[in-house]
Chains A and B, each alone.
Chain A
């Protein structure tokens, strides 16, 4: 047992962080806030770097890595607040032509959710819809042409993620070879990985600000009320980290549920505490804390929220 990132995983993390710093820096982030339509060029660049083909076998032109590596990469995407249907891109890279190369943008929606949210509806060239599974039987996956999907647009709380509600999912022939239960589980875990990245990033943002900002003649980070907020943020992020990493290693469904629960909490609460540490500037559009918070809210509602997770984890206690 050596539960640490190995040398390759650390290199992958550092490389991804560098790549994103180069292609999606804060200026690009801010530009995306003003114009949230997906940047197709960036999408293809990310694909060229292997972001979506990460888990495809090398024989199929993929990178041949596993779920733990995908989690490491998605944590970085979460740190950078990288927008777009990233989870769908990775999970459907082998199922929809052009998804792996970034030529086509594919969305993934869960009909078991209520309501059924669809991220970046205007940017998707294809949509895969997971049928609400009956108990004991995994649901099927359908592929739809976006134009045929009835939807109601809504003003998304997250300025970086346009949203629609799916009203009327068409039923076409189910896609063969897709395991809906597995897609749900892995989507939850990859979403949790992004939450983890965001939670870790907001600790850094809070700490940077707490070191720089002075009041009463001292850095606010020397005041315990602020210091202790920051310490709790780190604790939340670290607990989420080990849960997410372990779930990636075991591939276990319940581990993924627990990891999502803790990562959701870490991302949402850390973003709020980060906002608090920033004071008045934290309440403005200028600071990034609100962008982390809004995205964290959105991700917390995707692929299983707290109520569902807690019920499943409770149920597991009496089943054991």
Chain B
């Protein structure tokens, strides 16, 4: 067990820190939470800066345009950028964290050359068209149809909860290419241009008041067959690759951010006298232990994934549970998504009457935190995964 960093890693950290200290003060303030075009431009500009400085796609393989950094360096990158208060990956989330890595792992040389560089440079924004009105947790129930017509697929159906659809250029789209095959066998993974005729985006308002996700209607949208990643009907397997990215290191920066917020809560409580409340104090103390442990869990999961191909962190043997296949990401997500909600409930207690002031960032974050037990697989689904895939309990109906 080793928690120390090598000299090389510390040198990398120092270089990154120096760069962040130089560029961050010059960065203009971010756009308003509701300004999505502004958000897109801002996130794209930041990604371009990372690209020019050599930090884009740090952990991607070199032949995919990445830097081939070690998982530890990637971890350091996520930790330091968050600690320095650098912009969040934001609108680039899907491109950088799952569409890109999926294309890197499963795409042809031509597909990599077409899609990866613009993702790394922040030029093209991706969204994720997986969920449908009648296929959420039961993703394999998706019904959006793709019918082959010459060199195109003709796609008809509807997607929902599509984050950033309003500002995206591309969509990683799951479609049913064989309606007669067993559920998981007839699905394909397509790259869909969002400006194709027949694509209609209708923003949905979240309970936090923003329009960060949307409904996407597809009416005979023509998508070239050459835009299919992986084999026809093999999209489910490709999707599992995609999802393992989502559950891998997606929350690293956020754990660092939560620890910072926790310290801010304590200071605010000291300043406004609520610190005298032992119940609140103890709650914050417990959260301190939880977030510290969640950070250790991240380090553990990243260490475990070392030596595995990128994106297959979930496939690693869990050294500590006797070799059963691990889904460390699910264990992490379960605890983290609840801890995050508890953190902002505690924030409301610190705020007292101001907890009803929706202009306060802690209040907005409290609302946003409600998504964490739903998005990217609900807590119930994560528990099923942990119980069935790690503990080996029988599948229910």
Contact = CB atoms under 8 A, between A and B. Distances in A.
A243 B289 contact: yes
Contacts of B265: 317
Contacts of B380: 224, 228
Interface in A253-291: 255, 257-259, 261-262
Contacts, number: 176
B1 A234 contact: no
B2 A316 contact: no
Majority secondary structure of chain A interface residues (helix, strand, loop or mixed): helix
Contact of B266 (A5, A228, A242, A314): A314
A180 to B, nearest CB: 23
A219 interface: yes
Contacts of B394: 211, 218-219, 221-222
Chain A interface category by residue count? 35 or more
Interface stretch (A35-43, A48-56, A159-167, A304-312): A304-312
Interface string A1-24: 111111001100000000000000
Contact of A317 (B72, B266, B304, B396): B266
B386 interface: yes
Nearest to A223: B396
Contact of B2 (A249, A310, A313, A315): A249
A276 to B, nearest CB: 15
Given A313-B285, A314-B266, A234 B275 contact: no
Interface in B67-109: 72, 75
B396 A231 contact: no
B268 to A, nearest CB: 10
Given A1-B9, A227-B384, A227-B387, A235 B334 contact: yes
Contact of B5 (A1, A10, A231, A306): A1
Chain B interface category by residue count? 35 or more
Interface in B308-330: 319-321
Closest 9 CB pairs of A and B: A314-B285, A310-B285, A258-B289, A313-B285, A317-B266, A242-B296, A310-B282, A231-B386, A231-B383
Interface of B: 1-5, 9, 72, 75, 262-263, 265-267, 270, 275, 278, 281-286, 288-290, 292-294, 296-297, 299-300, 302-304, 306, 319-321, 331, 334-335, 380, 382-384, 386-388, 390-397
Interface of A: 1-6, 9-10, 68, 203, 207, 210-211, 218-219, 221-224, 226-228, 230-232, 234-235, 238-243, 245-246, 248-250, 255, 257-259, 261-262, 306-307, 309-318, 320
